[in-house]
Amino acid sequence: MSPPAAETEAAAPSAPGRRGELSEGARQERRLGLLLCAPAVVVMVAVTAYPIAYAIYLSLQRYDLRFPDQAHWVGFGNYGAVLTSPFWWQALWVTVLITVVSVAVELVLGMALALVMHRAIFGRGTVRTAVLIPYGIVTVVAAYSWQYAWTPGTGYLAALLPAGSAPLTDQWQAIGLIILAEVWKTTPFMALLLLAGLALVPGETVRAAMVDGATFWQRLWLVILPLMKPAILVALLFRTLDAFRIFDNIYVLTGGSNDTGSVSILGYDNLFTALNLGIGSAISVLIFLCVAAIAFLFIKIFGAAAPGGEPERR
């Protein structure tokens, strides 16, 4: 077969449009865009930039609310104190562990749920509602019900364990239960994000893979997941950022005792229990930096490599 000549020519990538030469219309449109964004920017600055700046300012002072008169500038002294403290590294390690394990488990379960919801023919609405229930319950309420369930003597789950065991008082068991509560609570969110991604995979492409001889797992691994990669990355990013800031489940279940506290618990303890604004603010700023680093890594490393980084034409 010989190719139609004109078409071979057309295959060459078209030259990118020249930059920097905006027409009058385009410039006006851009000005209008900036104007329309302005109110939102002002509000954002008021509610986020100001507190962040103030936290940074506080973190550079020695400032103990019990002795407000003795507040004075210490530069990076608070950061030095936090970063050399074993409490920070312990909390960071627990946080990372909880984040990695819970997000990994949620991804797998969420994917399974998304596939079930996607394929469900009967009672689609019912399935989706049922799956979403945990996500609809206030975290603190859910955490308390988990706490009662695991408390020896009163809890129905604790009753299933050998007598004398108190899982929430052991570091590893408690971390396991915290992860369980996290997973139970947020898997539905993951499933919903993945379901949206699944809906973007063209049905004919999956059918083509069926005809090409792919089994269910081969279709999933070689076709569906690669095509869902952008959606998976977004879901992972959201959940990782969320999980890294874990607070309420730990606060209710263990209160951070027995080395189960996350960095957020550590910051809370310093700020509101010890009333040490300087150290507490330094911890908050460090958490903010960690979160920013995670987001940056996701976008730089995975985002750039994602096939859907720029939307693919078909």
- Is residue 1 near another protein by the rule CB under 8 A? yes
CB of 199 to another protein, least distance (A): 16
Rank residues 180 and 234 by Cβ distance to another protein and give the closer one: 234
Instruction: Pick the binder of another protein from 211, 217, 273, 304 (CB under 8 A).
Output: 211
- The b/e string for 275-308 (b: 16+ C-beta within 10 A; e otherwise) is ebbbbbbbbbbbbeebeeebeeebeeebbeebeb
Q: Yes or no: say if 232 and 197 are a contact pair by the CB < 8 Å rule.
A: yes
- Is residue 227 near another protein by the rule CB under 8 A? yes
- Is residue 307 near another protein by the rule CB under 8 A? yes
Q: What's the distance, CA 226 to chain centroid?
A: 21
Instruction: Pick the binder of another protein from 30, 73, 215, 255 (CB under 8 A).
Output: 215
Q: Tokens at residue 149, please?
A: 């369930």
Applying the rule CB under 8 A, the residues between 118 and 157 that interact with another protein are 121
Total residues in contact with another protein, by rule CB under 8 A: 31
- Is residue 2 near another protein by the rule CB under 8 A? yes
CA dist list (Å): 135 to 60, 145, 236, 254: 38, 14, 17, 21
- Is residue 15 near another protein by the rule CB under 8 A? no
Instruction: Pick the binder of another protein from 210, 292, 293, 301 (CB under 8 A).
Output: 210
Q: Yes or no: say if 228 and 200 are a contact pair by the CB < 8 Å rule.
A: yes
- Is residue 205 near another protein by the rule CB under 8 A? yes
- Is residue 10 near another protein by the rule CB under 8 A? yes
Written as one string, the DSSP assignment of 17-75 is PPSS---HHHHHHHHHHHHHHHHHHHHHIIIIIHHHHHHHHHHTEE-BTTSGGG-EE-T
Binding region for another protein (CB under 8 A) out of 9-17, 106-114, 244-252, 287-295: 9-17
- Is residue 297 near another protein by the rule CB under 8 A? no
Q: Which burial class, exposed, middle or buried, applies to 166 when counting CB atoms under 10 A from its CB (0-12, 13-18, 19+)?
A: middle
Q: Which residues bind another protein (CB under 8 A)?
A: 1-4, 7, 10-11, 13, 121, 202, 204-205, 207-215, 218, 222-223, 226-227, 229, 307, 312-314
